[in-house]
Structure formats: C-alpha cells, structure tokens
C-alpha cells in the first residue's frame, strides 16, 4: 500500500480501478446540503462518491457531479439497490430510476444494499439470485462498470455464488475501530471481493475514545485521520462522510504518515467502542 492522494486507486477483481477513499453521503439531506457537500468533496480532490437510492439524495449528488467541472471518466460513482425493489424486474426498474436521478449514462458501481430485507426475508436467497441476474445483465451491457454487495455476511455471499456467473467485486460493510467483522472479511477476501468500510468513524462515536485521543496527539493528526489511516492500512476502502468543508478536506489528508504495528493493533482491539454492525437478517427494514 503506497497511496499518495485521493486519486490513487485500488483494483477490483475485474480490473477496474477505484479511488482508495470514497466520500460517503449517508444521512446527508437531499438538496443544497448534499449538493454543496459533494461539490466540496470533489473540489478537495475526492474522485469517488458513494450514494444510494435509500439515502434519498441521488438527485443532488448527480447534479453536483455534473456541475463539478471534473471529467466524468475521472470520477467513480456508486449507488445501491433499495430494499423494496429486489428481484429481476424490480431491479431493472429501480436501476433506471437511479440513473434518471443521477443524470448519468453509466454507473461505476452498483450494490445490493441489504441481503435480506423484511419484504424478502422468507425467500432472500432465491430473490438475491434473480437480483444478481439483473446486475450481471446490466454489467454485460456496459451500463455498470462493476457490481457488488453491501452488508452481506458469509452465508449470503456463499448462497449468491451458487448461481452467480460474475463474481461480486465489492462488499461494503461496517468496518471501524473495534468492529472488524473478521469472518466476513476473510470470506470476502477469499473470493477476491474488495472490502469497503462504511461508518469508518463509527458514526461519530470514535471521537470520545480516549485511546484515539492519545493517538491523535502522538501523531499530531485528528482522530478521524487516525481512524481513516488505520482503515487504509487494514486494506479497507473507507467512506468518510461530513458536510463541514474543513473536515471534508482534513479527512482526505491521510497520506503523509503511517501508524506503527503496535498502534494498529491497539486500534483494532478497541472492541465495542464504535458499536456493532447490524445483523442483516434481523434489521427491521
């Protein structure tokens, strides 16, 4: 790992390059807030923007991308399938709505947001197989450059691979100090599926952790920068979110230092400090 800036990339299992840090937009309100945050992120050097149908802000994200002045082929845009639109036909319909919302012709990455939403919980495996069939068709048609998963646990991944003809390229899960989801990370990596880390700052919980405060002082960096550097050194692709211009810029400034092995282990073992990932088989949506 020798990333030098926000434009440096990791390589997916299909050969597509993906910028090593993404700008997350979960809980960023549609309208001016999302538009300005994405414009600020792109101006700060981010080239990877992550949204979802379920976030309700695809329109503002798309408008910011189009207005940024950065050539489209220099930007990597991700969105995700909503929980109430799984299955072949529904996936096709929802994808077209996402593309209309974003105002894009091609999407760089499309993810199944959750593997077993309440609507499909009784037959999630069969429904995911049909959803993935639509994903593969869109991928082969060139509408999507890469396809993947989010919140998939080992049994969801293995079930999907029974019928998949194209291997997922990404699994986006909660990964933050103290929440490393070792089993799903191991299974994803065994199948050459890149791990993306959402909530890499523990939805703000990380800032009250004394050990992280001490490390920030030791390295003369912010707590967020320490957490994001840890994520990169673990081989994850972190997706920090902020709507504050100074923090957006600071979160991208993690390429001029390295955490030593002892401090990496200390952060990894901060068990429970940022809360546990939700169980995708029990979420109430």
What are the catalytic residues? 55
- Say if CB 76 and CB 108 are below 8 A apart: yes
Tell me if 188 sits within 8 A of 197, measured CB to CB: no
Overall residue count recorded for the chain in this entry = 285
Nearest to 83 by CA among 45, 124, 30, 51: 124
**Both tokens assigned to 252:** 């991208």
Strands (DSSP E) contained in 134-211 are: 147-150, 170-174, 194-198
What are the φ and ψ backbone dihedral angles of 237, each rounded to 5 degrees? Answer: -110, 100
Would you say 227 and 247 are in contact if contact means Cβ atoms under 8 Å apart? no
Give the contacts of 101 (CB within 8 A, at least 6 positions apart). 53, 58, 59, 62
Question: How far is the C-alpha of 84 from the C-alpha of 221, rounded, in Å?
Answer: 42
Q: Output phi, psi for 119, to 5 deg.
A: -60, -30
Using only the alpha carbons of the chain, give its radius of gyration.
Answer: 18
Q: Considering all CA atoms of the chain, what is the largest pairwise distance in Å, rounded to the nearest integer?
A: 54
**Contact indicator for 33, 55 with CB cutoff of 8 Å:** no
**CA-wise closest residue to 7 among 20, 25, 26:** 20
Write down the number of H helices and E strands in the chain.
10, 10
């Amino acid at each position: 790992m020798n990333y030098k800036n926000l434009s440096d990339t990791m390589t997916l299992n299909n050969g597509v390059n993906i910028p090593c840090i993404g700008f997350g937009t979960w809980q960023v309100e549609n309208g001016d807030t999302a538009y300005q945050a994405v414009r600020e992120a792109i101006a700060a050097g981010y080239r990877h923007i992550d949204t979802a149908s379920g976030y309700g802000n695809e329109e503002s994200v798309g408008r910011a991308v189009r207005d940024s002045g950065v050539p489209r082929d220099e930007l990597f845009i991700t969105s995700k399938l909503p929980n109430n639109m799984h299955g072949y036909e529904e996936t096709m319909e929802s994808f077209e709505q996402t593309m209309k919302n974003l105002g894009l012709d091609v999407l760089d990455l499309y993810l199944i947001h959750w593997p077993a939403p309440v609507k499909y919980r009784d037959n999630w495996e069969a429904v995911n197989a049909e959803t993935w069939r639509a994903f593969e068709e869109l991928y082969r048609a060139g509408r999507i450059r890469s396809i993947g998963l989010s919140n998939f646990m080992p049994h969801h991944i293995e079930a999907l691979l029974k019928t998949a003809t194209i291997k997922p390229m990404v699994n986006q899960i909660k990964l933050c100090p103290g929440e490393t989801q070792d089993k799903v990370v191991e299974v994803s990596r065994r199948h050459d599926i890149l791990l993306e880390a959402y909530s890499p700052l523990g939805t703000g919980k990380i800032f009250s952790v004394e050990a992280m405060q001490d490390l920030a002082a030791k390295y003369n960096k912010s707590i967020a920068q320490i957490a994001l550097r840890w994520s990169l050194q673990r081989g994850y692709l972190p997706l920090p979110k902020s709507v504050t211009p100074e923090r957006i810029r600071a979160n991208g400034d993690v390429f001029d230092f390295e955490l030593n092995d002892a401090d990496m282990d200390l952060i990894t073992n901060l068990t429970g400090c940022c809360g546990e990932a939700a169980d995708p088989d029990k979420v109430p949506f």
